[in-house]
Amino acid sequence: MTTTRLHDGIANTILIYSLLVAAWSFWIYIRRRDLTPQFWGALAIAALLFVVQAGIGVVMLLLGISAMRWVHYLYGTLGVITLPAVFAFTRGRSTYREALFYGLTLLFLSGVVLRATITAGG
């Protein structure tokens, strides 16, 4: 499997996974439940997927495979730093209000993934 296909496949995985966890976040918010350890685990997986995707992107860049537009790298950086930034902003609290923040953030990141796919070229 080439790095390009792997990078594309993980982008699709991130998109679908982010939308699913966003839906879960909204469900938690609507039901006014606190965030569970299972939710925190799902959120950690989402953050890790973004880091793995960025790592593969760096490897591709080192191999001479570059994106069509420079803004693609901005989107990749945004994907890596956004979830940890929201965690810092909420100070790691686990109330239902934070579920809304994470749900909106994951919807935003889903849009970022779509834009990154468009700007990648190929």
pLDDT per residue as tens digits for the range 17-76: 999 999 999 999 999 999 999 999 999 999 999 999 999 999 999 998 888 888 899 999
Residue 80 one-letter amino acid: V
Question: Domain extents for the chain?
Answer: 3-120
Chain segment 98-119, per-residue pLDDT in tens:
999 999 999 999 999 999 998 8
**DSSP secondary structure string, 44-110?**
HHHHHHHHHHHHHHHHHHHTT---SSTHHHHHHHHHHHHHHHHHHHHTT--SHHHHHHHHHHHHHHH
